[in-house]
Structure 1
Amino acid sequence: MDSEAENENVVLLLGMGFQDLDEIKRCLRMAKNDVNVAVGYLTQENTISSYSTMENLFSLTDDPPRNTSDGGSGDGPGGSESNPLEFPLTHLYDLESRVFCEQWNIPYRRDESLGRCLLACTEQYKAGIDNDPNAQRFLNRVFPECMAKLCNSPMVDRWKSDVQQGVYDMAEMYLDLVLACLQMPQKPMSDIGSGDAPSQPFPPLHVLEGAFGTVLDLESGWARKNQHMDPSQFQMTNDEELLAPVPRNTFNRYGFVCDLLNYFQSKDGLNLIHGVFERGLAPHEKVPETGEQVTEVHPLFLSPRLMSVLLAPFGNCAEVLNAAIFDPAMEPCMIKAVKYFQSVSDEDLRGDNAQAILDLIVTMERLCKFLYTHLLPEMAENRLKIVLRMLDSHHFHAKMTALKELMRLLEQCQISNSNHRDHFNEALLVSWLEKNHVLMLTLDGNIDNVHYCDRLRKILDALGDRLSLQEIAKMWQMQEGQNSHIVENVHCLLSGAVGKFSREQFDHLLKLVLKSWKRDRDRAKERLVSFVGRVGKEVVRSVPKHAEKVGAGFYVILEVLWNMSHEPSLAPRVVDRAIDEFMALMEDLSSSLECLAKMLHRDFSLEGGDSGEELHSPAMSTKRSPGISGRKVEVSPQQGDHIIR
């Protein structure tokens, strides 16, 4: 990769608001220095969390894998009987060779590679060791891939019961690791930030992020496969004392997930999480010693990312939780989280914490859905307020993050089951979009970015006939006098939304087109002809079952194309384009609505007529290029319209 070009792209992405320099360079390498693709990675539109090959895995690590003879034998928990804290490197290499390949094969027994590595990490964290590079490599790259495949691979449905039980065993061993992290010995405040001490007295995020939520997720493939199983552990315990009692009056029992939750609570897991929140300081709080407002650099700063990671797993399984057990330990944590995002600053919404803040609110919504139903409307309102503030920002990263959240909201509105954990009220969202003129905010710049426009398209589709004429006019004005890239983006957005326009919106858009036609030059007029043809195709494609609606729009489109092609002194190439668009529309219509096509052909053409002749246009015959000289132009006296054949 050319270093000068890479440096320019790094500066460009930093200017867009992405702040993690190492992550920017990593994404540029993955995108082969393509800025648009790198933006997709940085905004998590294109995932790079799953490494499909060993080459991809090692291209992102500083140190190449060492020879397996350097590692332990793997006989003890850590790979060596003489040193139980030594990480079993041989087992790590075995996992890498079996996981990162097309025909992957993950060991699921406690005494095999995955179990040995998990046990070694657990013993290290119990001893307060968190800087073993081999353990970090396992936890950062290998283990997340293992759990993603064990819990969400399509092959989960075909595995036999012993394999399903093996996945449970690995999940339970992972919870032991989480518990060890949560109770990892904390160094005195005077030591934090010095020498080999951790930068803050909290459990490491890379251990908790991803897998913690996956193993407790009722929507994972593994949980759904085993949803009819009854919990097998803690059967002698009173249901009132369990974090996840056996679900009553339901076909879905979620036995494995309930067992994991009860196992976690039996080890005092909720109180350990409560302890993390209690010793941390949220941004709205003040430092006890000095009375100053806490900042991100303070060692006790409780980041939204950490709060989200600790609470999200319980949001994934909220419907099976026992509020009587969950509340005492976790309600103070939730209160602290609510106070945080209610007092979040605009600077926070522009930084790296923006996505974590939104994820935290979504987690709170899920918990309120099943445990605190009276707070659910407030959570939804807070979520929409945060999104609106981010959209109102002129910061590219903030806007992209907000648009991504809007996409998630729109997808949640499509969930038909109102009791689903992620269902969002569609009427509430659409009303909010209209009331706050959200589209006008999104149109404020960045229209030249392809990823930005892809997300805008979904908002337009959701608004449909609720778009105001002013919003349509503003979108049209954005492309006037701009380069071809911006013009193409705006044309794609508008033509894609036409299928849901009302007749008033449709007519208003065509008036804007004709107004531009009168003052544009030939190059711009050629683009307008293409846009009108694209609109006609969208009309046919969007409502194939409503012939009358298609017919009404089609008469207008054909008339517009005809009038465009008959303007005096028009360049021949523009005439050719108008004819090509006209014929393409008729072909599309014939293939999708044969009956309507015959009707239009009858109405727009009159072969013979009263005089028995086909009528031709002298203007067209003088302008046509040789390639289309064989086409005929016919006039229908009854309709006053034209057809080109």
Structure 2
Amino acid sequence: MDTTEDENVAMLLSMGFPSVEQVRRALQMSKNDINEAVNLLTSEGSLTSYSTFDDLTGMDVSVQTTSPYQEKEEEEEDDAFPMGYLYKLESTVFTEQWSIPYRRNEPLGKCLIAAARLVRNGQYEADEHCQRFVQRCLPEVFRKLLTASAVRNWNASIQQGVYDMLVLYLELIVSLLRAGAVPCSLMNAVLPLAFDMDVEYHQKNKNQDWDETGWETQLSIELFAKPLSSGPFQEPYGKLVDLINCFGALGGFQLLGEMFQQSDDLTCEDMGALLGPLGICAPFLVLSTIKPILSPCLKVALERLHSLPAKELKEKNGGHALQLVNSLKQLVNILEPEQEEAVNTLRLEIILRMLRTPNFSSRIIALKELLRVMEESEVTGPAVRVSQPIDRASLLLWMEENQILHLVLEGNTDQVQYMEKVKNVVEYMGPDLREDELQRMWKLQDAGNSHTVENLHAVLAGAVSRLSPKHIQCLTSLIHKSWTTGEDRARERLITLIGRMGREVKESQPMEEFLQLLWSLALDQLLPPSLVDLALQEHQAIVQEASNREQLSKTYVAKSVDEIQDGKHVVPALKHLGHMAHCIVHGNSSYFKPNKSALSELSQTHGLIRLITDSVKTVAGLKDSQEPKYSIQEVSAL
């Protein structure tokens, strides 16, 4: 491992991620990108599955001297997992031009059947080849079968074949549940996709009829799922409905209910894995059949979440708790709507508790969840499918009462990936942001290092378009105060910040305020030439991206002329006059055409040629220069 990777491992461990193996795996998958590694480590997915075919390096896929398809039928009842089928499956799945078999007598079907048989025989966990299949290969297989765009091009027999493989997967899951195990990673990797109406597979088959007669004949009690009878989504989604009924017919719902009755050993991760997929398909569930089974489960899960100790909210455990809350939110909307407000409150309480911990991974997971709550609060109309989101007014009130912005800025401000999430919080608060919160954020620069300052400036620049005119005035006032006490390096950062904010704002008034601020700073007699040039460059960059570009250019041509005529700031004014004239005459952007006739108009209006030549001669000829900070070479370059 090279020095850079060692440093990144140490950095991630210092953030609170406890597993060196997972940290190294995340860095490998992200190609040593620290920000992407943090996203992987704080995501709800697993780091155990292969990301590319390269992960199979060193694995001998050609050890079989005979074709695995030549195994005899009686050997299928062997206790050993069929390695030949596994090798063949891996060789066709983990490649760019992948191909996945979909018949029961082909590698995928054989491996699924063998895995279920090993569960029944009590040998599932001990067989390393079976574990490699379910942990590494199976998630990738169904991810491709259910979500790839190629799904829409497959014919009916292939669509049915994929359904048959999903049934075998459900049989495996139910076998594990019957054995008393909660296969969290296997359930989380596949079952939410299998029960999600939005994946490519179910979208392709949404107009397929479900096997109503078959299920009514097979099930002695009411059906577990039916097509939606009302709302904007009235297609049958036959394959999805059939899969849910299949899970019920296999005993999946009953086993799930029994597990919650004996819930002493169930963790939040276990409960989330059991309830999460059902929350995704909740609109299809038949209330009269499902409610007696799931209502006691919801009660147990809510009690567990209310009594969670602080240690259960650290690292990924907090993510499991939030995943469980979201599953409950989807289910109570269908089963017990009167509980929905209580679940919303619980969700915010867990976010708050996690933000109050010093653990980096807990805080960033909580921030991600808060951003999801914010996003939900701004979605209206048909896009809202299942649960009632927390409305914006209520969320802002909760954030104010609990000083959320202050809380999220109490630590980790030197971490880029963390502050990117904070920027989204500030953008959401926008015009509802209090001025004292803005001032408190600005003061964090005083005690922070250079990384903190840069991150805070990125937050302000990214959120400026959402701020009100009063906020802009407050910001400019804060910039002036910092300018008077700051050194050259601090002033350089302030100039860059003003430029970024000027380019980000959409309305002309705040943009013009930032332009005027840069102009006044550039004319500071005590400012070094390098900072004058930087201020003028940022000024020019704002003008070039403005919608009223030509008008602004003419305005600052006039201001430059005034400064030249006054003889106070001749050199910077001459430089900027050239920049602004160039903006007008040359179109420097695909959105603005050149205006070559403007030069003669400007010359007639301001007498530019005479003014420029006289000014350059005057400045170049001064023995006792009025602008000693500029060398004769710089003046000659004009």
Same fold (TM over 0.5): yes
2:106 to 112, 121, 129: 112
2:567 maps to what in 1? 618
The answer to whether the 8 Å contact 1:616/1:632 transfers is no
- 1:173 has 2:154 as partner: no
Q: Which amino acid aligns with 1:109?
A: R
Shift in Å, 1:619? 3.7
The answer to whether the 8 Å contact 2:61/2:91 transfers is no
Shift in Å, 1:247? 3.3
The answer to whether the 8 Å contact 1:216/1:261 transfers is yes
2:229 to 248, 266, 279: 248
Q: Would the alpha carbon gap of residues 622 and 133 (structure 1) be closer, same or farther in structure 2, given more than 3 Å must change?
A: same
CA distance in 2, matches of 1:182, 1:607: 77
CA distance in 1, matches of 2:456, 2:330: 37
1:328 to 279, 289, 292: 292
1:572 maps to what in 2? 529
2:202 to 194, 211, 223: 223
1:640 maps to what in 2? none
Report 1:355-394 matches (<5 A).
355-394=319-358
Q: Which amino acid aligns with 1:578?
A: A
Gaps of 5+ in 1: 185-200, 282-300, 544-548, 638-644
Shift in Å, 1:11? 4.7
1:75 to 58, 71, 76: 71
Shift in Å, 1:555? 3.0
2:375 maps to what in 1? 411
| 3-state SS, counterpart of residue 352 of structure 1 | helix
| 3-state SS, counterpart of residue 452 of structure 1 | helix
Q: Would the alpha carbon gap of residues 70 and 621 (structure 1) be closer, same or farther in structure 2, given more than 3 Å must change?
A: farther
Q: Which deviates the most, 505-514 or 31-40?
A: 31-40
1:352 maps to what in 2? 316
CA distance in 1, matches of 2:528, 2:44: 43
Q: CA deviation digits over 1:35-66, x for unaligned, max 9? A: 4443232112998676453222447xxx7657
1:507 maps to what in 2? 473
Q: Which amino acid aligns with 2:190?
A: A
The answer to whether the 8 Å contact 2:195/2:278 transfers is yes
CA distance in 2, matches of 1:415, 1:527: 37
CA distance in 1, matches of 2:563, 2:196: 70
- 1:491 has 2:474 as partner: no
- 1:261 has 2:256 as partner: no
1:164 to 159, 166, 170: 159
Q: Which amino acid aligns with 2:24?
A: K
CA distance in 2, matches of 1:407, 1:394: 19
| 3-state SS, counterpart of residue 316 of structure 2 | coil
Shift in Å, 1:446? 0.6
Shift in Å, 1:606? 4.2
Q: Which amino acid aligns with 1:136?
A: Q
Q: Would the alpha carbon gap of residues 529 and 153 (structure 1) be closer, same or farther in structure 2, given more than 3 Å must change?
A: same
The answer to whether the 8 Å contact 1:87/1:117 transfers is yes
1:133 maps to what in 2? 128
Q: Which deviates the most, 496-505 or 389-398?
A: 389-398
Q: CA deviation digits over 1:150-186, x for unaligned, max 9? A: 11111222222111111111111111111111112xx
Q: CA deviation digits over 1:356-376, x for unaligned, max 9? A: 110000000011122221111
1:436 to 396, 402, 406: 402
CA distance in 1, matches of 2:553, 2:68: 81
2:430 to 457, 464, 483: 464
Q: Which amino acid aligns with 1:248?
A: S
1:420 maps to what in 2? 385
CA distance in 1, matches of 2:212, 2:120: 25
Q: Would the alpha carbon gap of residues 564 and 617 (structure 1) be closer, same or farther in structure 2, given more than 3 Å must change?
A: farther
The answer to whether the 8 Å contact 1:36/1:449 transfers is no
CA distance in 2, matches of 1:85, 1:75: 14
Q: Would the alpha carbon gap of residues 467 and 373 (structure 1) be closer, same or farther in structure 2, given more than 3 Å must change?
A: same
Shift in Å, 1:350? 1.3
Q: Would the alpha carbon gap of residues 359 and 495 (structure 1) be closer, same or farther in structure 2, given more than 3 Å must change?
A: same
CA distance in 2, matches of 1:148, 1:128: 28
The answer to whether the 8 Å contact 1:52/1:101 transfers is no
The answer to whether the 8 Å contact 2:351/2:369 transfers is yes
The answer to whether the 8 Å contact 1:621/1:629 transfers is no
Report 1:620-635 matches (<5 A).
620-621=569-570
1:295 maps to what in 2? none
1:288 maps to what in 2? none
1:22 maps to what in 2? 21
Q: Which amino acid aligns with 1:75?
A: E
- 1:100 has 2:100 as partner: no
Q: Would the alpha carbon gap of residues 597 and 421 (structure 1) be closer, same or farther in structure 2, given more than 3 Å must change?
A: same
Shift in Å, 1:84? 2.6
Shift in Å, 1:423? 5.7
Q: CA deviation digits over 1:562-615, x for unaligned, max 9? A: 2211222210001111111122222111xxx2xx34444555554999xxx994
| 3-state SS, counterpart of residue 326 of structure 1 | helix
CA distance in 1, matches of 2:12, 2:515: 45
| 3-state SS, counterpart of residue 261 of structure 1 | helix
Q: Which amino acid aligns with 1:211?
A: V
Shift in Å, 1:30? 3.4
Shift in Å, 1:631? 5.7
2:421 to 455, 459, 467: 455
Shift in Å, 1:413? 3.2
The answer to whether the 8 Å contact 2:227/2:236 transfers is yes
Shift in Å, 1:425? 3.1
The answer to whether the 8 Å contact 1:182/1:272 transfers is yes
Shift in Å, 1:517? 0.5
- 1:182 has 2:210 as partner: no
Shift in Å, 1:414? 4.3
Q: Which deviates the most, 427-436 or 500-509?
A: 427-436
Q: Which deviates the most, 210-219 or 100-109?
A: 210-219
1:152 maps to what in 2? 147
The answer to whether the 8 Å contact 2:227/2:235 transfers is no
* TM-score (norm: length of structure 1): 0.83
| 3-state SS, counterpart of residue 569 of structure 2 | helix
CA distance in 2, matches of 1:410, 1:579: 38
Shift in Å, 1:75? 3.3
- 1:280 has 2:258 as partner: no
- 1:270 has 2:253 as partner: yes
| 3-state SS, counterpart of residue 415 of structure 1 | coil
Identity %: 32
Q: CA deviation digits over 1:386-407, x for unaligned, max 9? A: 0011112222111011011122
Q: Would the alpha carbon gap of residues 564 and 89 (structure 1) be closer, same or farther in structure 2, given more than 3 Å must change?
A: same
1:401 maps to what in 2? 365
CA distance in 2, matches of 1:45, 1:259: 27
1:197 maps to what in 2? none
Q: Which amino acid aligns with 1:123?
A: R
The answer to whether the 8 Å contact 2:210/2:236 transfers is yes
Q: Which amino acid aligns with 2:201?
A: W
1:187 maps to what in 2? none
Q: Which deviates the most, 8-17 or 378-387?
A: 8-17
The answer to whether the 8 Å contact 1:230/1:246 transfers is no
Q: Between Structure 1 and Structure 2, how many residues are aligned?
A: 578
Shift in Å, 1:266? 1.5
CA distance in 2, matches of 1:600, 1:628: 13
Q: Which amino acid aligns with 1:579?
A: L
Q: CA deviation digits over 1:435-477, x for unaligned, max 9? A: 3221111111111111101111211111111111111112212
| 3-state SS, counterpart of residue 442 of structure 2 | helix
* TM-score (norm: length of structure 2): 0.83
Report 1:554-593 matches (<5 A).
554-589=511-546, 593=547
- 1:474 has 2:443 as partner: no
